[in-house]
Amino acid sequence: MDSPDATSVRRARRKPKEKTVAAGEIGSRLPDFSVKDLQGRELSSADLRGKVVLIDFWATWCKPCKQEMPGYQKLAELYGPRGFVVVGFKFNDMPDTEDPILFAKKLGVRYPLAVAPDDLRQKFGGIEGLPTTMLYDRQGILRYKVIGFEYTDTVESQIKPLL
């Protein structure tokens, strides 16, 4: 039989349980994914390791998305050399109002764009509205999330400390 001292020593050595953070919540991890972008190139979370990552959920019929995306391209150009990347995931629930590749080209968007099937959206905790912007630090931890339109300057202020 263990003495009370031996039991308390064993308990003290146990690792505290890590708090589990629900997908899509601040503090959650960038989920693993692998998809083909709209150009047919492979795009995976493995390619994003060690970078500051902005994930943008969008659709061609979403007017606020159309407003945000050129600003995200500007940020990608400005901070890309410092390890910042943008990935756009297109909603496919409703018919596109125009060809998504032409849509992006008209907006001057050159960052990777891919379709977001339901299983991928669930990995990000489910998407409640468009646009949805999620910003992950270099360790792949979600640090900032906005559902709905946000000004580029506000998003930029969240990116800078993570670079």
What is the phi/psi pair of residue 4, to 5°? -55, -30
More confident residue, 92 or 79: 79
Residues contacting residue 7 through CB under 8 Å, at least 6 positions apart: none
Cβ atoms of 149 and 68 closer than 8 Å: yes
Cβ atoms of 158 and 79 closer than 8 Å: no
101: amino acid identity, one letter: I
What does the alpha-carbon distance between residue 91 and residue 95 come to, in Å, rounded to a whole number? Answer: 9
pTM here is 0.87
What's residue 92's pLDDT? 87
Distance (Å) of CA 46 to CA 6, 29, 49, 101, 139: 44, 13, 6, 24, 12
More confident residue, 12 or 62: 62
What does the alpha-carbon distance between residue 151 and residue 68 come to, in Å, rounded to a whole number? Answer: 7
Q: Which of 30-34, 84-88, 92-96, 141-145 has the lowest mean pLDDT?
A: 92-96
Domain spans of the chain, in order of start: 30-162
Per-chain mean pLDDT for the chain: 91
CATH code matching the domain that covers 30-162, chosen among 1.10.10.60, 3.40.50.720, 3.40.30.10, 3.40.50.300: 3.40.30.10
User: Residue 11: pLDDT above 70?
Assistant: no
